[in-house]
Every structure is written in structure tokens, then in C-alpha cells.
Structure 1
């Protein structure tokens, strides 16, 4: 199975009533917004799946994914993705080649689905950039 990543949005349309807000006034940097948003989506029942490099479904441990991906662009139409493991798992193959347009579309769909799900469940991260633009399908930095 080639590399893929998908968000499975929650069926819930709001956060659980006992979910404590985790976003403070200081936490508006991108990494904090993604962490808070991902926690909100998990609390609402969303799941994510990823696979590739010889494994159909990657295990997401409590500390996250112990793999890193490096993207290179040898031609305008090709993306080379190299997977490195920080565990005893060995990617096989360690390098995959993808059509630029197909991989770009997959990652844009992931971003748009993530931003839309944040708004659907009422995550406090939803109104912060870049999520409103992503919901509208705008991904260019500005």
C-alpha cells in the first residue's frame, strides 16, 4: 500500500460536555492549535488512519507516530517520500514515488477535512488561522 493519510470525522457535532477548554490566549501558534484541535477531535470521536512503506495501517502510540517522512521533488510531477523509523520497525520499501498532483490533493483533503471537523465540533481552535482558509480550500501562505 502506498503512503496515505485520512481523517475520519466524528459523528458528533459538538464537543463532549465535560471537555475542558485547552486553548489559552497564549496558545495561538500553529503547533499548539493543531495539538488542541486534534485533542478536541479525538474527544468528539474522530479517528485518523495512515499507512504505506509496507504497512497498511500504522500504529499510533500514546506519544504519536515514531516515523518521519522526508519529501523531495526530483521532477515537477514527482514526489519522492522517504520514511525513517525511530523504532525496530523497518519501512519496506523505505522510499516511495508519488505523482505530485495526487499527493497534493490527498494532503489538501486532509487539511480541509481537519479544519471542517474543528468547526463542526466547535473546537476553540477552529476560528484561528489557517483553519478558516483551509475550510474554504485556500492553502497558499499569505
Structure 2
């Protein structure tokens, strides 16, 4: 949460998330992104190990759960909404390696953003490890 706040205050940072029939979800860097980033390490580990893992995007206005399930060489992602918004389609899939690469790049770019704003947080774990490519 502290890292997302630092990036938001510095300005210039964006976080785009889309899918399930919506091109741009209502996500801000200061708070909404923190709900995702705090769950990124277990998400990445679960996806790498090809086991089911869920991410709860609980911030007000977003309120949805993404469940990642391995299926052969794919990962099927199911979106469950807790608001009036209805995902269409309810499930999407990505090739396993593509998803791992996307999540790893997010971790690296996040840590790189902290380093770019000279945040001391960039030297803390897991950000220092992410910066070195160890997401």
C-alpha cells in the first residue's frame, strides 16, 4: 500500500487492467493497485506451480474475484463480480508462459518504478528481488 501511494504521489504511474468485456477497469494506482500487488507473490507462485489460485480485488467499485485455474498449457481465468457489473465472457484464457511473463514483467516494472522515484522501498523485499528479475 505504501509503495502504491508513493508511485501515485510521484505521478506519471498508471496501472491498466481489462478483460471480461471491459476495456478499462476502474483502477487507480494509490489504492486499487495495492489490492492486486499485495496478492501478486502468491498469484505468481500459484500460476508457476500450475495450481488454482484466486485474487480478491476487494476495493470499492471494483469488487471482483479472479480465479486462475491451470488447464493443459493454458490458464483459465474466471471473473466473479460482487457488483452490478457482469463479466462477459465470464472466463478467459492465456497461454501459461505468456501469463507468467506478464506477471513477472508487472513485478519488475513496479519495482523499477519505485527505483525511478528514488523510493527507499525499492531496496526492501520483495521489490529489490523483483528489480533483479526474481519475481
| TM-score normalised to structure 2 length | 0.72
Structure 1 vs Structure 2 CA RMSD: 1.5
Structure 1 portions without partners, runs of 5+: 1-34
What is the CA–CA distance in structure 2 between the aligned matches of 1:131 and 1:83, rounded to whole Å?
28
Question: Equivalents in 2 of 1:68, 1:119: separation in Å?
Answer: 30
State the Cα distance separating 1:119 from its structure 2 match: 1.2
Query: Map of 1:22-33 to 2, 5 A cutoff?
Result: none
- Name the counterpart of 1:36: 2
CA offsets 1:86-129 (integer angstroms, 9 cap, x no match): 11000000111110011111111111000011111122321111
**89, 93, 104: which one aligns with 1:93:** 89
Runs of 4+ in 1 over 6 A off after TM superposition: none
What is the SS of the residue equivalent to 2:134? coil
Contact 2:16 2:24 in 1 (8 A): yes
Q: Which residue of 2 aligns with 1:129?
A: 125
1:110 to 93, 106, 122: 106
Q: Which one has a larger percent helix, Structure 1 or Structure 2?
A: 2
**Matched residue, 2:75:** 79
Q: State whether residues 78 and 90 of structure 2, in contact with CA within 8 Å, keep that contact through their aligned partners in structure 1.
A: yes
Residue aligned with 1:90, SS? coil
Q: Could you say which structure has the larger radius of gyration? A: 1
Q: What is residue 23 of structure 2 aligned with on the other side?
A: 56
TM-score norm. by structure 1 comes to: 0.68
User: SS of the residue aligned with 1:52?
Assistant: coil
**More relative contact order in 1 or in 2 (CA 8 Å, sep 6+)?**
1
Q: How many angstroms does 1:83 deviate by?
A: 0.5
Task: Assess if the C-alpha contact under 8 Å between 2:15 and 2:27 holds in 1.
Answer: no
